[in-house]
């Protein structure tokens, strides 16, 4: 080691520690107000194979972290524990540096209180670097290794969330897909919630595809989807059920309120202006059914009622809302527990 290192009291050579094999592009930012100390830190990290930047200014350090996004920061800690603490806290508050490891370094061993305050300020580790250079190298390696593990875990979680989202979202419109809507409806029926299902179907959509082509048809569907999404209340769900058919699941509404909600959606779509359609109006027909937890009906029966109401809206001239007939009341149970008594469908063998 050069004589300057002996003058500063830096420890003996540490060639017995195997040389680090950093991941491609791993970088370290050395922040120390003393130029000689900073240079020694930077040289030590370069010998380990890391890309190194350095600064003696805390203000510049924040800018460098934001611009360079280093994998690790070596930050000065003096014996009183004051130097570096404010910077440490600021780095932890910034989104860009929130997950960057910070290792506090000191020339002489810092007091227990100083180290504690540094760690509480947001640092990940501490080492008396000039007294224990081998330990410094090892702790840097450990922090960078842990960062790689965390980054890999975040990538896996992000990819998993992306796959999950893709499985739940209709790729054309960005709305929930049929599978997601069916699951939501099943869960609400099982939870005995009061809610409504609105089946919304674009009128004369086949003619649009036949006359203008499927690309224009997709544009029409995206316009309808955006309109329905904007009009969906907080806590409700909107999705594409398939083809030109959309579904809205609306909670805590009675029949009159559902009728009003459906009318608002119908009118909103009617106001859309799609340049590709020219003077051709864009309208939808809507069939709505309200689920009554006391009815005992299944999700399939509920959907069948909503679909039948949509068929009625189409048959009665389109561009209108039809409400489904209420479900038949659940058959009473006899003393034996059989629904509907001895002549019920279930008793006589069912379907």
Is the pLDDT at 109 greater than 90? The verdict is no
For the chain, domains (ranges, CATH) are 3-162 (3.40.50.2300), 178-323 (3.30.70.270)
Task: Characterise 349 by phi-psi region: left (phi > 0), alpha (psi -120 to 50), beta (else).
Answer: left
Whole-angstrom Cα distance, residue 159 to residue 74? Answer: 31
Q: What is the DSSP letter of 31?
A: E
Question: What pLDDT, on the 0 to 100 scale, is given for residue 295?
Answer: 86
**pTM beyond 0.75, yes or no:** no
Task: Give the position of tokens 């947001």.
Answer: 122
pLDDT (tens digit per residue) in 146-199: 999 998 888 888 777 767 666 789 999 999 999 999 999 999 999 999 999 999
CB 199, CB 287: distance < 8 Å: yes
Is the pLDDT at 330 greater than 90? The verdict is no
Structural tokens at position 45: 């990290």
Is the pLDDT at 11 greater than 60? The verdict is no
Q: What is the DSSP letter of 131?
A: T
Is the pLDDT at 239 greater than 60? The verdict is yes
- What are the angstrom distances between the C-alpha of 253 and each of 125, 199, 245, 323? 56, 16, 22, 13
Whole-angstrom Cα distance, residue 17 to residue 257? Answer: 74
- Can you tell me the mean pLDDT for 221-247? 94
- What are the angstrom distances between the C-alpha of 158 and each of 69, 164, 212? 20, 10, 39
pLDDT (tens digit per residue) in 25-83: 799 999 999 999 999 999 999 999 999 999 999 889 999 998 999 999 999 987 655 66
Sorted by sequence, the CB contacts under 8 Å of residue 30 that are 6+ apart come out as 38, 41, 42, 45, 52, 53, 54, 55, 74
């Amino acid at each position: 080691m050069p004589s300057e290192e002996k003058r500063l009291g830096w420890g003996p050579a540490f060639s017995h520690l195997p040389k680090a094999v950093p991941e491609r592009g791993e970088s370290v930012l050395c922040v120390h107000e003393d130029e000689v100390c900073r240079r020694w830190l930077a040289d030590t990290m370069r010998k380990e194979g890391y890309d190194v930047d350095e600064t003696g200014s805390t203000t510049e350090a924040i800018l460098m972290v934001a611009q360079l996004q280093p994998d690790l920061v070596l930050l000065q800690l003096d014996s009183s524990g004051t130097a570096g603490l404010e910077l440490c806290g600021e780095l932890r508050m910034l989104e860009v540096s929130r997950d960057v490891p910070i290792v506090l370094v000191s020339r002489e061993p810092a007091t227990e209180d100083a180290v504690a305050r540094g760690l509480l300020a947001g640092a990940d580790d501490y080492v008396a670097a000039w007294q224990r250079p081998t330990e410094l190298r090892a702790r840097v390696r450990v922090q960078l290794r842990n960062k790689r593990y965390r980054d890999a875990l975040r990538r896996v979680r992000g990819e998993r969330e992306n796959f999950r989202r893709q499985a739940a979202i209709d790729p054309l419109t960005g709305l929930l897909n049929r599978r997601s809507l069916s699951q939501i409806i099943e869960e609400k029926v099982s939870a005995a919630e009061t809610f409504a299902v609105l089946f919304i179907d674009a009128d004369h959509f086949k003619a649009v595809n036949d006359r203008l082509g499927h690309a224009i048809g997709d544009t029409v569907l995206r316009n309808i989807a955006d309109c329905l999404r904007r009009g969906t209340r907080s806590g409700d769900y909107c999705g594409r059920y398939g083809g030109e058919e959309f579904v809205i699941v609306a909670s805590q509404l009675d029949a009159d309120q559902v009728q009003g909600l459906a009318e608002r959606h119908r009118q909103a779509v009617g106001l859309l202006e799609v340049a590709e359609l020219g003077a051709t109006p864009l309208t939808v027909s809507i069939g709505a059914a309200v689920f009554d937890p006391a009815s005992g009906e299944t999700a399939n029966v509920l959907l069948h009622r909503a679909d039948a109401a949509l068929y009625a809206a189409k048959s009665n001239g389109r561009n209108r809302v039809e409400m489904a007939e209420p479900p038949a009341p659940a058959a009473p149970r006899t003393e034996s527990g059989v629904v509907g008594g001895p002549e019920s469908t279930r008793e006589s063998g069912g379907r």
